[in-house]
Structure 1
Amino acid sequence: MASFISKTLRWNKNYLLAFVDNHIIHYPTPINLSYAWSFGITSAVCLIIQILSGIFLAMHYTPHIDLAFSSVEHIMRDVNNGWLLRYIHANGASMFFIAVYLHIFRGLYYGSYMHPRQLLWCSGVIIFLLLMGTAFIGYVLPWGQMSFWGATVITSLVTAVPIIGQPIVDWLWGGFTINNATLNRFFSLHFFIPFVIAGVSLLHIALLHKDGSTNPLGVESGVDKIPFYPYFFVKDLFALTCFLFFFGFFVFYFPNVLGHPDNYIPADPMQTPAHIVPEWYFLPFYAVLRSIPDKLGGVAAMVGAILILLVIPFTNTSEIRSTTFRPIFKIFYWLFIADFLILGWVGQKPVKDIYILVGQIATCYYFLFFTILIPFIGILETKLIHLKK
């Protein structure tokens, strides 16, 4: 026993080793965490995979409108294991969003946005915003039909912003249309922003370790805690292994199922695709955009659909953290999940009256959930609790 204490003291005298010990090995973790808490580390691993695969792809990619599409085909056909790198990176974006969406929905369910973790939640929303921006400009780089026209449609929306909209678009384009300067800008930003995401992710982890993890019971005290290693290290490792098998299934068997076939056609400014759609992970927000008939209103609604996540910690009125013990809120939570899936379904449909109507109804519930239902149900539950007392 004395030998163990002596070794621990020597270990903690080294600042770096002490940091690792405090935040990874002996980090106190609630004993009742489920696999739903593994999506954080899964997202971190996805970020690392995307950065590493992106660096190797950048070695062979040419950011020029006449050569970009050919350079991607060169990677696929001529570079040793280039096809694997490209499929890992392309499908890795989808895997990243799957992990992040599940991480967000878990946080909503178990009240991860509540005091004292408001800043932790807000830092996560900032990461989500940066991730969406990076994914969008990355989708432009292959310079296929959907890349070009998706970039044209989305960047043109910025012109709806009064006064500063047009100057911003002109700067992004580097001219009056999408051209070679646009592709160069997008390539530079796509290479740079992931490192910003990594930095904000470290801040996110620091804020997490400041207040500690939540737990399924939603209580701050009364839950036994155990060291992260080896117990949750092994649990997260198992969850990550299952996720990587899921990831590999798409990479090796269905590498193009999550992409759009039109992106294997070189970009042609003279021929518009029959139906322009973004990647699947943008579809819910694209549906929100299309549900508003006014251009500026649609852009405001789409941006607001993401930024509204920032206000939840400050509009929440519930005294109960976990939705497990909130039967009224639980109903509306699962309706929200269904609503989000409906928005994703509507986002890929053509612009027809029936789909516009469904999208408008789903958009109304989306904003209703965050602006009215969350604070109102919290007040209602509080009154019911005190009424029973």
Structure 2
Amino acid sequence: MSGHSTYEPKSAFERWLDTRLPIVRFGMDTMVNFPTPKNLNYWWTFGGILAVCLVTQIVTGIVLAMHYDPSAANAFNSVEHIMRDVNHGWMIRFIHANGASMFFLAVYIHIFRGLYYGSYKAPREVLWILGLVIYLLMMATAFMGYVLPWGQMSFWGATVITNIVGAVFGDKVTTLLWGGFAVDNPTLNRFFSLHYLLPFMIAGVVALHVWALHVPGNNNPTGVEVKSKADTVPFHPYYTVKDGFAIIVFFILFASFVFFAPDALGHADNYTVANSLVTPQHIVPEWYFLPFYAILRAIPNKLMGALAMFGAIGVLFVLPWLDTSKVKSMRYRPTAKLYFFLFLLTCLVLGFCGAHEPDEKVIGGVAGFQLFDANLNSFVWLSRLGTACYFGYLVLVMPILGLTEKPLPTPESISTPVLTEKKG
């Protein structure tokens, strides 16, 4: 538990302000004195990394919006103007574009860390749900931002996704998104407005996420709840220094993309202006959407494929109630740990499938000899297998495993493994 406030105003002004707007108390209790489990590892630093990524995206996005023209006639050229004529515009644009990928990389690590250590279980269900709401808002923001350069992949990506939304919610919703009867200038205006708005909504939900974290306190690698003050240390300086170091290391990776491989995570077709009469040979979303794209294409029926794609995220909202095990951390669940890594592999395979055309052969023929039947040796069948494994793990394995597996003994407290001396 976060406990009672320990902040003591030291000056007359602080005492005056504290009785009217306790913002200093809030800051001290949240970022300085907050009692934090003393055994957190570096997987817990990605919360701070994500906060810095969000600020980076908002700041660079505001600057880019000053020079961007959200019209079908000028959007592509305005992006080129930013790249060529605006002072340091190329850098700001590449930071923003690659920042989206870094944001999703960090959030995926954050989510899988939560899955491994059981951070979605009681009493942190609301914390988990708010995190998923942030993730959904991120996906919507990223999709709309990908449309704004108005290149070929932007235009056709918008066409495909809005049609999928229409298959689920009806043609009226599609028309509302389009602002007409096809992806055109009104669509771009709508997406630009929403792309500008949604990051501030994300910031608001992040504030709720942090609030929800500070009620039960942090989970930790053992999954054992804090039992005494001896199990914790103040957040500052112990975790501000640790988080700061992790942020620097992460941003070295970020900078390597921005300055040395700025287009490595993009698509070459997006450097061609949008043309509604020329369809790209292979329409692919950004890498962070590929697993869901594979699930969408795995099912022949358009509506069922769309429902499966949205269901892949929706099922995560009920995960705290699907997992029946009373042990949080998979450190003490060897069988669950094995299934977790198989699930992680499944997500990677789905991402790999999403990057390839459905009828492309997984294993090619050797000297005219086909290793598998041509109808089965395709990425669509591998996607179907991955989709079955994805939902099977969350809907079947987790509930059954929690009732049948025998976990290892867990420590009595966080401090037990630290303070207990090894017997010779």
Q: What is the TM-score of this pair, normalised by structure 2?
A: 0.87
In the TM superposition, residue 10 of structure 1 has moved relative to its aligned partner by 2.3
Structure 1, unpaired ranges of 5+: 1-5
Are the equivalent residues in 2 in contact too, given 1:123–1:200 (CA < 8 A)? yes
The letter for the 2-side match of 1:202 is: A
Q: Does 1:360 align with 2:393?
A: no
From 205, 208, 211, the equivalent of 1:206 is 211
Cα distance in 1, alignment partners of residues 327 and 119 from structure 2: 11
Query: Is 2:10 the counterpart of 1:10?
Result: yes
**Residues 318 and 382 of structure 1 are in contact (CA less than 8 Å); yes or no, is this contact kept in structure 2?**
no
The answer to whether the 8 Å contact 1:214/1:220 transfers is: yes
Number of the residue aligned with 2:196: 191
Shift, 1:255, TM fit: 0.2
Correspondence 1:52 to 2:59 = yes
**Structure with greater helix share of residues:** 1
- What is the count of residue pairs matched by the alignment? 378
AA matched with 2:284: V
Deviations 1:52-88 (A, max 9, x none): 0000000000000010000000000000000001000
2:166 alignment counterpart = 159
Q: Tell me the amino acid that sits aligned with residue 10 of structure 1.
A: K
Matching residue of 2:416:
none
User: What code does the residue aligned with 1:277 have?
Assistant: V
Alignment correspondent of 1:266: 273
2:380 equivalent to 1:375 = no
Q: CA deviation at 1:18?
A: 1.2
Which structure 2 residues correspond to residues 239-278 of structure 1 after superposition, within 5 A? 239-278=246-285
Query: 1:99 and 1:383 mapped to 2: Cα distance?
Result: 30
In structure 1, what is the equivalent of residue 333 of structure 2? 326
Following superposition, the deviation at residue 314 of structure 1 comes to: 1.3
Match of 1:3 in 2: none
What does the per-residue CA deviation read over 1:311-345, in whole Å, with 9 as the maximum and x for residues that have no partner? 10112210111011100100000000000000000
Structure 2 residue identity aligned to 1:126 = V
The structure-2 alpha-carbon separation of the partners of 1:175 and 1:229, relative to structure 1 and needing over 3 Å to count, comes to: same
| Of 138-147 and 9-18, the range deviating more from structure 2 | 9-18
Q: Find out whether 1:107 has 2:114 as its counterpart.
A: yes
Matched, 1:118 2:133: no
**SS of the residue 1:17 aligns to:** helix
| Residue from 212, 221, 229 that aligns with 1:216 | 221
What is the CA distance between 1:19 and its match in structure 2? 1.1
Partner of 2:95: 88
| Larger-Rg structure | 2
State the 1:9 CA deviation: 4.3
Tell me the secondary structure at the aligned position of residue 266 of structure 2.
coil
Divergent runs of 4+, >3 A: 6-9, 382-385
CA distance in 2, matches of 1:290, 1:99: 26
Deviations 1:240-264 (A, max 9, x none): 0001111000000000000000000
Encode CA deviations 1:281-305: one digit per residue, 9 max, x unaligned: 0000000000011000000000000
Alpha-carbon separation, structure 2, partners of 1:8 and 1:204 = 26
1:170 alignment partner AA: T
**1:194-250: per-residue Cα shift (whole Å, max 9, x none)?**
100000000000000111000001100346100000011000000000011110000
Whole-Å separation in 2 of the counterparts to 1:201 and 1:20: 15
Tell me which amino acid in the other structure corresponds to 1:182. T
- Is 1:286 matched up with 2:310? no
For residue 211 of structure 1, give the secondary structure of its aligned residue in structure 2: coil
Query: What RMSD over aligned residues (CA atoms) do the two structures have, in Å?
Result: 1.5
Alpha-carbon distance in structure 2 between the residues aligned to 1:9 and 1:344: 52
For 1:66 and 1:277, locate their aligned partners in 2 and report how far apart those are by CA, in whole Å: 24
- The answer to whether 1:65 aligns with 2:72 is yes
Q: Deviations over 1:336-372 (max 9, x none)?
A: 0000000000001012151001000000000011101
Deviations 1:36-59 (A, max 9, x none): 001111111111100000000000
Rounded to whole Å, the distance in 2 between the matches of 1:61 and 1:383 is 56
Question: Aligned partners of 2:71, 2:157: CA distance in 1, in Å?
Answer: 18
What is the rounded CA distance, in whole Å, between the counterparts of 1:158 and 1:238 in structure 2?
Answer: 41
Q: Is the 8 A contact 2:130 2:205 kept in 1?
A: yes
Give, in angstroms, the shift of residue 159 of structure 1.
2.4
Partners of 2:295 and 2:115 in 1: CA distance: 20
The separation in 2 between residues aligned to 1:7 and 1:348, in whole angstroms, is: 52
Give the distance between the partners of 1:120 and 1:351, measured in 2 at CA: 37
SS of 1:226 mapped into structure 2: strand
Provide the C-alpha distance between the structure 2 equivalents of 1:31 and 1:325, rounded to a whole number of angstroms. Answer: 19
Determine which of 215, 234, 239 is the counterpart of 1:232: 239
Where does the alignment leave 5 or more consecutive residues of structure 2 unmatched?
1-5, 360-374, 410-424
Note closer, same or farther for the CA distance 1:7–1:271 as it changes in structure 2 (3 Å cut). Answer: closer
State which drifts further: 213-222 or 234-243: 213-222
Given that 2:131 and 2:209 are in contact with CA atoms closer than 8 Å, whether structure 1 keeps it comes out as yes
